[in-house]
């Protein structure tokens, strides 16, 4: 599997001349090394088969994270390093890249970078391997081959990623992040290449058909994996787009909604951390805080009006909004744990809450946190239905209802969290929904391994 940046669009701040100059220099060094190498194995059956495999693998490869191509060229190059020497190790990935470029016609500058990172680096590894490798039947041979594969991949990344980043004006660190999720696959690929080398050294040409099928199958599986992750990214993007759109619509009907959701999310996450919950639970608390009022989208405009006199039917609707929010999240898909938290965030310790009348330990711990954060922000915020309290007054009120309405440990956790904090934190007047939503981070985490 070869991995390299492919055809990202040019952006402001790009430096194509610098990237092209460096790639050209690296490629010229590779071409010189190719010319000085033994060319006798270029037309061997193994070289021909590996070239065909590499080219086919390129055509069935998958695009990863929009700019990354994952294919079987790397495995072919690794086998060329083991059995054919520097010249074929340079030529096989070069031919595969050129044939694919002839069909796809992506940017020629990107082609130069791909050739520099794939062909020249593989040639350099092949030269070192030829100098160090013992007899093919020695265990050290296969250990060095595995090391050669790792070095070739790392060299590919460290050559191509910075050059493509310079070419397109993208941050190098962000580009490198795209590779984090495929390291286990690379390790598996190196292991398969070593295993294939062992089979070939014992069986010979009769193993070529098996090599071809294995490389094609491996590349196709990598393509399925990448496509599945991209679909997950798209689905998560759609889901969060729908949910954030509902919150913004709710904010149009009640101007405090978005700020309140952002404040509750921040308080909930920080409380979960202060109370010793792990990263996943902190993220659940934060997400539940963002979405805790999503069910109010189904309430009538009259209920959402401030100061309106509510009928019993209106109160029934209000008591149902946690259920409505939970069902909405379930319908969208991947938010099961968050849905249960949202369903329970208006339950009370004494069992007099809604919608299910849960009490005490039956209430999810994170729902207790969200409940405290919501009440605290409601009491202290200037955009509520009542005169805002100071933080001190609000904490006194929370302590008054601790053990009946709210969980006492969560109330004290909030009090400890607020101790020594400034007014800007205690009164979340400037809480920002977009900042707390941080949708780009959520997209990345949705497809993280």
Structural domains in the chain, sorted by start:
2-232 (1.10.1760.20), 254-446 (1.10.3210.10)
pLDDT at position 291: 85
How far is 158 from 361, CA to CA, in rounded Å?
53
The residue that leads in pLDDT, 333 or 181, is 181
Nearest to 53 by CA among 73, 69, 80, 82: 73
Supply the pTM of this predicted model: 0.54
Q: In 10 A of CB 134, how many CB atoms?
A: 11
User: Does residue 303 have a pLDDT over 60?
Assistant: no
Q: How confident is the model at residue 245 (pLDDT cuts 50, 70, 90)?
A: low
Percent of all residues in the chain with a pLDDT value above 90, rounded to a whole number:
31
Nearest to 198 by CA among 82, 100, 105: 82
Q: How confident is the model at residue 420 (pLDDT cuts 50, 70, 90)?
A: confident
Which two structure tokens, joined as six digits, stand for 66?
């929009």
User: Does residue 274 have a pLDDT over 90?
Assistant: yes
User: Does residue 220 have a pLDDT over 90?
Assistant: no
Per-residue model confidence as pLDDT tens digits over 363-375: 999 999 999 999 9
**Neighbour order of strands in the sheet with 68-71:** 2-5, 68-71, 62-64
Contact assessment for residue 21 and residue 83, using Cβ atoms and an 8 Å cutoff: no
The residue with tokens 């069902």 is 327
Q: Which residues have C-beta within 8 Å of that of residue 173, sequence separation ≥ 6?
A: none
**What are residue 68's phi and psi, to 5 degrees?**
-115, 135
* Segments of 13-66 assigned E as strands: 62-64
Round the average pLDDT of the chain to a whole number and report it.
79
How far is 71 from 92, CA to CA, in rounded Å?
14
Nearest to 6 by CA among 72, 58, 61, 63: 63
Q: Which residues have C-beta within 8 Å of that of residue 53, sequence separation ≥ 6?
A: 72, 76, 211, 212, 215, 216
Nearest to 368 by CA among 394, 388, 349, 393: 349
User: Does residue 444 have a pLDDT over 80?
Assistant: no
Q: What angle do CA 274, 280, 283 make, to 5 degrees?
A: 70
The residue that leads in pLDDT, 78 or 196, is 78
Mean pLDDT over 325-351 rounds to 81
pLDDT at position 7: 41
Which of 20-29, 54-63, 120-129, 322-331 is least confident? 54-63
Q: How confident is the model at residue 4 (pLDDT cuts 50, 70, 90)?
A: very low
How far is 160 from 179, CA to CA, in rounded Å?
12
Instruction: End-to-end CA distance of the chain: give it in Å, rounded.
Output: 18
Which of 135-144, 201-210, 276-285, 440-449 is least confident? 440-449
Q: Which residues have C-beta within 8 Å of that of residue 392, sequence separation ≥ 6?
A: none
The residue with tokens 């990237």 is 19
The residue that leads in pLDDT, 200 or 334, is 200
The length of the chain is 449
Mean pLDDT over 23-37 rounds to 93
Contact assessment for residue 334 and residue 286, using Cβ atoms and an 8 Å cutoff: no
């Amino acid at each position: 599997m070869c991995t390299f940046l492919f055809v990202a669009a040019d952006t402001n701040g790009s430096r194509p001349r610098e990237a092209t100059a460096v790639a050209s220099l690296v490629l010229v060094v590779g071409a010189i090394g190719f010319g000085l190498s033994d060319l006798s194995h270029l037309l061997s059956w193994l070289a021909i088969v590996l070239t065909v495999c590499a080219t086919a693998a390129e055509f069935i490869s998958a695009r990863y994270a929009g700019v990354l191509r994952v294919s079987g060229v790397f495995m072919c190059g690794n086998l060329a390093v083991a059995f054919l020497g520097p010249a074929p190790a340079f030529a096989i990935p070069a031919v595969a890249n050129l044939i694919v470029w002839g069909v796809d016609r992506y940017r020629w500058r990107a082609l130069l970078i791909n050739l520099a990172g794939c062909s020249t680096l593989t040639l350099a590894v092949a030269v070192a391997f030829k100098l160090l490798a013992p007899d093919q039947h020695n265990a050290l041979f296969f250990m060095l081959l595995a090391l050669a594969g790792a070095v070739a991949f790392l060299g590919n990344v460290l050559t191509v990623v910075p050059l493509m980043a310079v070419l397109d004006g993208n941050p190098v660190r962000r580009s490198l992040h795209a590779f984090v999720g495929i390291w286990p696959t690379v390790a598996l690929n190196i292991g398969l290449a070593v295993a294939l080398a062992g089979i070939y050294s014992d069986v010979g040409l009769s193993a070529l058909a098996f090599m071809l099928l294995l490389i094609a199958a491996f590349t196709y599986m990598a393509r399925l994996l990448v496509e599945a992750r991209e679909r997950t990214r798209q689905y998560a993007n759609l889901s969060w787009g729908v949910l954030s759109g509902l919150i913004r619509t709710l904010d149009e009907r009640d101007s405090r909604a978005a700020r309140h959701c952002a404040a509750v999310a921040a308080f909930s996450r920080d409380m979960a951390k202060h109370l010793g919950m792990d990263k996943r639970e902190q993220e659940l608390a934060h997400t539940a805080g963002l979405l805790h009022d999503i069910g109010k989208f189904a309430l009538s405009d009259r209920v959402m009006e401030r100061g309106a006199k509510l009928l019993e039917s209106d109160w029934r609707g209000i008591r149902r909004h946690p259920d409505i929010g939970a069902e909405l999240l379930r319908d969208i898909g991947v938010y099961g744990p968050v849905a249960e938290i949202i369903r329970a965030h208006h339950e009370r310790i004494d069992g007099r809450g809604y919608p299910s009348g849960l009490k005490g330990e039956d209430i999810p711990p994170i729902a207790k946190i969200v409940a405290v954060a919501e009440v605290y922000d409601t009491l202290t915020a200037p955009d509520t239905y009542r005169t805002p309290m100071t933080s001190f007054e609000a904490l006194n009120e929370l302590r008054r209802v601790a053990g009946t309405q709210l969980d006492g440990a969560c109330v004290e956790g909030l009090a400890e969290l607020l101790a020594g904090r400034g007014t800007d934190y205690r009164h979340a007047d400037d809480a920002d929904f977009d900042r707390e939503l941080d949708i780009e981070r959520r997209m990345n985490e949705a497809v993280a391994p």
